[in-house]
Copies of this chain bind each other. A is one copy, B any other.
Amino acid sequence: MPVGTQATVKTLTPEELARAGAEIIVCNTYHLYLRPGHERVRRLGGLHSFMGWDGCILTDSGGFQVYSLAALSRVSDDGAEFQSHVDGSRHFFTPELVMQVQAALGSDIAMCLDECPAYPVSRERAEQALERTSVWAGRCRQAAGPGQTVFGIVQGATYLDLRRRSADELVALDFPGYALGGLCLGEPSELTYELAAAVKERLPGGKPSYLMGAGYPEDIIAAVGQGIDMFDCVLPTRNGRTGAAFTATGALAIRNARFADDPEPLDPGCGCYTCLKFSRAYLRHLFIAGEALGPKLLTLHNVWFFQALMRGIRQSIADGKWREWSREFLARYGAEGPSGRAGPEDRTKEE
């Protein structure tokens, strides 16, 4: 899911997003509550109409942003009090308010308010956040409107038993889908995969699972190998804006002088508008000259790349060729992975 925090996937029109193959995007409750305001969005016909996006929208609850972006004043069992990162104004998020905000936005999938500690965190803090997250999940489930699809968010930091306990407590509340929160925050990838696998084992098989904040192609492939279905990450858009393109053979920094005369597209096998129309030399020129079209064309390509990756994954599973497909993808991608990650066989061992 491409990330459209402020009701826009940065630099892209909804039309371009759809042409890249995106079917669902992630917007953010915290950001839209603060600006332009959820009641304003409701008055303007809801988020789909407001931003001109006909596809699905999942809204993150804002739990993560309250802890990462806002100046957090106080968190209690009631909710989280915080200061806006925009204008310093004070606000209080309760599970009920967060459901109301998401109902006003009219997202297709709403997320529970969770408490999401940073990495690393003590077992004691992790346990406290887990317990609060479970209580809040119950209140969110209760507060959800009749048509609102709500996902629970599993916490428990990097503690296997806490992750299992959190999953069990949420499953008892019977959500239509489950997310793994508080991961992809800088912990070793192997640990992410291990925790994801442990959680996945406790989740009901027929319901979607969502690894929040993942990630790199190798992370997505590893997590899919463990049965995870949904992903969101700012990588395609953020890296696109800074000049890093994902290609079938790995990442590429377009500002590099070696591309100055390169007539090839970013990724010769790619079918996106950027690759069909422009050379690396032109894209490099746009970045060097500080032209807005550069970040936009790389974002477009990167979003296409991840959508194509997910299509490839789905097709290979449907064809019963997941193991070979993922091994070949990773071999071509050349992602040995940082700091001694295991190879592709191990990553997909939970398949």
Contacts and interface: CB of A to CB of B under 8 A. Distances in A.
A7 B293 CA distance: 10
A11 B50 contact: no
Interface string A2-17: 0000111011111100
Interface stretch (A64-72, A243-251, A278-286, A329-337): A278-286
Interface string A271-308: 00100011101101110110111011100000000000
Nearest to A86: B289
Contacts of A52: 277-278, 282
Contact of A11 (B261, B273, B281, B293): B293
A55 interface: no
A204 interface: no
A252 interface: no
Contacts of A284: 36
Contacts of A12: 293
A90 interface: no
B285 A292 contact: no
Contact of A261 (B15, B43, B260, B278): B43
A11 B289 CA distance: 13
A50 B296 contact: no
Contact of A50 (B7, B35, B282, B291): B282
Given A35-B288, A35-B289, A288-B35, A44 B10 contact: no
B292 A35 contact: no
Contacts of A297: 13
With a 10 A CB-CB cut-off, give which of A13, A51, A260, A273 has the most chain B CB atoms.
Answer: A13
A295 B12 CA distance: 12
B8 A281 contact: no
A35 B282 contact: no
Interface string A249-269: 000000000001101000000
A314 interface: no
Nearest to A37: B260
A40 B273 contact: no
B14 A44 contact: no
Nearest to A34: B289
A315 B299 CA distance: 39
A8 B292 CA distance: 9
A291 B272 CA distance: 23
Contacts of A278: 52
Given A292-B295, A292-B296, A286 B8 contact: yes
26 contacts: A6-B285, A6-B291, A8-B286, A8-B289, A8-B293, A10-B292, A11-B293, A12-B293, A13-B293, A13-B296, A13-B297, A15-B273, A35-B285, A35-B288, A35-B289, A36-B288, A40-B261, A40-B281, A43-B261, A44-B263, A44-B279, A44-B281, A50-B279, A50-B285, A52-B277, A292-B292
Given A44-B279, A279-B44, A292-B295, A7 B261 contact: no
Contacts of A279: 44, 50
